[in-house]
Structure 1
Amino acid sequence: MRTALQTAAAIRAGETTAIAECDAAIARIEAGNGEINAVVVHDFDRARDAARAIDASPKDDRALLGVPMTVKESFDVAGLVTSWGFPEHADHIATEDAVAVQRLKAAGAVILGKTNVPVGLADLQSNNPIYGRTRNPHNHDRVSGGSSGGSAAALAAGFVPLEFGSDIGGSIRVPAAFCGVWGHKPTFGMLDTDGHYFPRTRGAALNLSVIGPLARDPDDLALALDLTADLPLPKPAARDTSDWRILLLPQHPLAPAAHPIRSAVEAIGAAFAAAGATVAYESDLLPDLVEQHADYMRILAVAMARGQPPRAGPPSTPMPVLLDRQAECRRAWRRLFRDYDAVIAPAWGTTAFAHDDTPIETREAWIDGAPSPFGAQIAYPGLATFPLLPATSVPVGTDPDGLPIGVQVIADRYADHTAIAVARLAHDLTRSR
């Protein structure tokens, strides 16, 4: 299967057509979606019309010319349902495209439909009363992740080369890691979230929440980021592998990571070190990660409540105090990135877990055969989310069960392309070993 960039180039060169690529993607979905239930809203007729219109026009240099893709169900696409998995919003039809969808279409993309989510985008697996459960293409007994679980599954199954999701608690990075694809959580505020609204609302973007791309290829990931960003993001100067400065964080102090995950992070460090890079395993410059996680969970609870008091009552720490702490945390990370180019850590402490509808509050994660609180694992996504940093989820191997292992590469604010560049190196160095 071609990448997005290769597909657009082939259409431009006359080696294929937009309608041929559209029909091939639809055929892949129709053949394979019944098993994994990733693409839950179909828009095939309009997609074919859009593809035929591209073929009927003179070829142009749009980056995604004729590329078939899907987007997460939570994005508004005019004429399609946006429910976020809530049965009471199953009849909510969007009247205009989200800004990100507008920009992708302007770049030539053909939108085939939308992919599955958990109810309210509030779980690390994708299951809801409207569309049902999405299964991991690598093992149907395992989750695909959430909340962009349908997005990652559609990519891993080879239905499309490119997807778009959102992330506040790992919702891009964790599904990408579970399904063995690429995902990028951008620097907070760099991509316009208009059109990614809670159904039947048009409020401001949630604190911490971002939208971003998922892809099967890092070049496609970087391209989709650039096409949808409000402003150009800087790109790192070319450098030898030996010039990179990497800090490893194989395990969070509050959340155990399974041995294959820790080993994967350490193997990346060993590969960078063997290539001459500067690699560190600890740093006094890191903020207090225990305090950071506590503050992250307080702000996340307010954000996910969507203006309503949390079930346990109002947060014990006033929001202005939390925002001050967040600002100080950001300063600490900024100081750290004067000495390091990137931090590499697990995206989650396990590979894809078995389907489990136990509430998150009482759910358990199994780490090397022992139970551990599931909710503590949110500390890994929170590493980058709370200080508003970019992070790239990159596939780097498989565990003993053959499930994908993904890690996240965290970089300084606005250094999104640095995160992608280091992730690419991590992938290439480990896959060549």
Structure 2
Amino acid sequence: MDILDKDAVDLLADLREGRTTCAAVMAATLERIEAVNGAVNAIVALRDSDTLMAEARAADARGAQGALWGLPFAVKDLEPLAGVVQTDGSPLFADRVAEVDSPMVAHLRAEGAIFVGKTNVPEFGLGSHSINPVYGVTRNPYDSNRTAGGSSGGAAAALATRMVALADGSDMMGSLRNPAAFCNVYGFRPGWGVVPRAPGGETFLQQLSTNGPMARSPRDLALLMSVMARPNLAVPHNAAVQDWTLNAPEKLDGVRIGWLGDWGGAYSMEEGVLAQCEQGLSVFEGIGAELETVAPPFAAEDLWHSWTVLRHWAVASDLAPLYSDPATRAQLKPAAVWEIENGLTLTGQQIAKAAALRSRWFTLLAGLFDTYDFLALPSAQVWPFPAKWDWPQKIAGAQMDTYHRWMEVVVPVSLAGVPCISLPCGFSDQGLPMGVQLFARKGADLSLLNVAQTYHEATLWPQKSPPHIHDG
């Protein structure tokens, strides 16, 4: 087996036990990036190869230090990495170099990761198609004419092509889950607060997005969670520290999973998506779980209303200063302008009503988890779409009325802030990947990863079906 085909846990064990060296892993990584990154454009702001090799040799000289010792790592380009350009996918910041690491990156560095560069994103992370005016489009490893998704599309494509063994991402509206589904890897959105947000005045109120890990196995997700999920006393909403060691059961006897499908027809689905997700979920039945169809538990339009109001408010809070200056406003993409303009018109009462809807949904969902151990939804409503599109305008004949309506299926999880994993579940007749969301009650992050690992050992989709880079 090529060393880069190994999961992170196994690769790191090889390093610690002397079967390979940090320098050898870095050399193989740089060779792989040279060979395949041109086809997918997943890794951007690549650091100098001589510098990286020197850092790898220095790691060898120090000896094993940290959970990620010697592991090449590329950080999502929404995250500050000291000494490396952080564009957020915007021409406004094409030359901005981060002066210090974000808290999460500092944890990765302290555990021995060696940063090769960044992974590509859409502008400001808005939309699930990783294209921007600075670096261009990230393409799907399974068909380079298609999107890799987003906003963590660069991370997902880099994982699928074995340029990295682990990746960080972030998720407001499916940004860990959608690209994982499109690239046949795992994306884990932790429960809100498990990975603390970076310090900022909005953290008492804005609880929509979170950082999380991506990998080719749940076991690797748990490894990265052990590094990412560190309390930060400078911010509110820290979750309790926990042991991320997995203890996956061989069988899932007695586990009950509720399948929400297309939410009673509320979520338009491209042909074949639901059937592929149901085929994936049938694996759970084969290893002992009970699978039941669940009727829509909450009005989809109420969820959408609450979501769009709170998202407008959050995006406007972050980007309004760029909108207020006509010179910088002119360089914002239309989706950003639309979010900001809607956010600036909101009243306190409208925000409060949206938050009240959100609370009602959380309470109802908590009740559902008294009946079901886990709930399931598709990770996406469409197969990976053409990379030349801005976003899907229609699904199954239904017009999408916003740039992100085609991603509505991720909203129930994002709004509730509960832990969720996108599980690879197979391919279309055209060889395009798909995933299914499995989510759990607040606080059940580790239980969810354990069940996902049992599923993984029964399927091994990322290992059995790696991409073959081609031009379509």
Fold conserved between structures, TM > 0.5: yes
Structure 2 distance, partners of 1:68, 1:210, is 23
Aligned to 2:140, which of 126, 136, 140? 136
Equivalent in the alignment of 2:351? 319
Equivalent in the alignment of 2:290? 278
Structure 1 distance, partners of 2:217, 2:313, is 35
- Give the Å deviation of 1:325: 2.2
Unaligned runs of 5+ in 1: 196-201
1:243 equivalent to 2:274? Answer no
What letter matches 2:345 in structure 1? P
Structure 2 distance, partners of 1:341, 1:412, is 8
Alignment RMSD? 2.4
Aligned runs of 1:176-325 on 2, under 5 Å? 176-194=180-198, 204-205=202-203, 206-230=206-230, 231-233=240-242, 239=249, 240-252=251-263, 253-283=265-295, 286-306=297-317, 308=320, 310-312=340-342, 314-315=345-346, 318-325=350-357
Structure 1 distance, partners of 2:280, 2:389, is 33
Structure 1 distance, partners of 2:272, 2:18, is 45
Unaligned runs of 5+ in 2: 231-239, 321-338, 462-472
1:159 equivalent to 2:171? Answer no
Equivalent in the alignment of 1:392? 421
What letter matches 2:317 in structure 1? R
Equivalent in the alignment of 1:59? 64
Q: Give the SS at the match of 1:114.
A: strand
Equivalent in the alignment of 1:418? 447
What letter matches 1:402 in structure 2? G
Q: Is the 8 A contact 2:89 2:124 kept in 1?
A: yes
Structure 2 distance, partners of 1:32, 1:269, is 32
What letter matches 1:212 in structure 2? G
Using structure 2 for the length normalisation, give the TM-score.
Answer: 0.83
Q: 1:268 to 1:35 in 2, by over 3 A?
A: closer
What is the CA deviation profile of residues 298-328 of structure 1, one whole-angstrom value per residue up to 9, with x for unaligned ones?
1112112235484245237522222222222
Q: Which moved more, 1:209-218 or 1:44-53?
A: 44-53
Structure 1 distance, partners of 2:279, 2:270, is 14
Structure 2 distance, partners of 1:337, 1:407, is 18
Q: Is the 8 A contact 1:246 1:344 kept in 2?
A: yes
Q: Give the SS at the match of 2:109.
A: helix
What letter matches 2:444 in structure 1? A
Using structure 1 for the length normalisation, give the TM-score.
Answer: 0.90
Q: Which moved more, 1:203-212 or 1:20-29?
A: 203-212
What letter matches 1:379 in structure 2? E
Count of residues in correspondence between the two structures? 420
Q: Give the SS at the match of 1:397.
A: strand
What letter matches 2:384 in structure 1? A
1:364 equivalent to 2:393? Answer yes
Structure 1 distance, partners of 2:193, 2:221, is 18
- Give the Å deviation of 1:133: 1.1
Equivalent in the alignment of 1:350? 382
Aligned to 1:48, which of 43, 49, 53? 53
Q: Is the 8 A contact 1:248 1:345 kept in 2?
A: yes
What letter matches 1:59 in structure 2? A
Structure 1 distance, partners of 2:365, 2:346, is 25
Structure 2 distance, partners of 1:23, 1:186, is 33
What is the CA deviation profile of residues 196-245 of structure 1, one whole-angstrom value per residue up to 9, with x for unaligned ones?
xxxxxx65444301011111222111110122113434778765311211
What letter matches 1:264 in structure 2? Q
Equivalent in the alignment of 2:326? none
Structure 1 distance, partners of 2:202, 2:21, is 40
Q: Give the SS at the match of 1:69.
A: strand
- Give the Å deviation of 1:391: 0.8
Q: 1:409 to 1:234 in 2, by over 3 A?
A: farther
Aligned runs of 1:81-120 on 2, under 5 Å? 81-120=85-124
Q: Give the SS at the match of 2:426.
A: strand
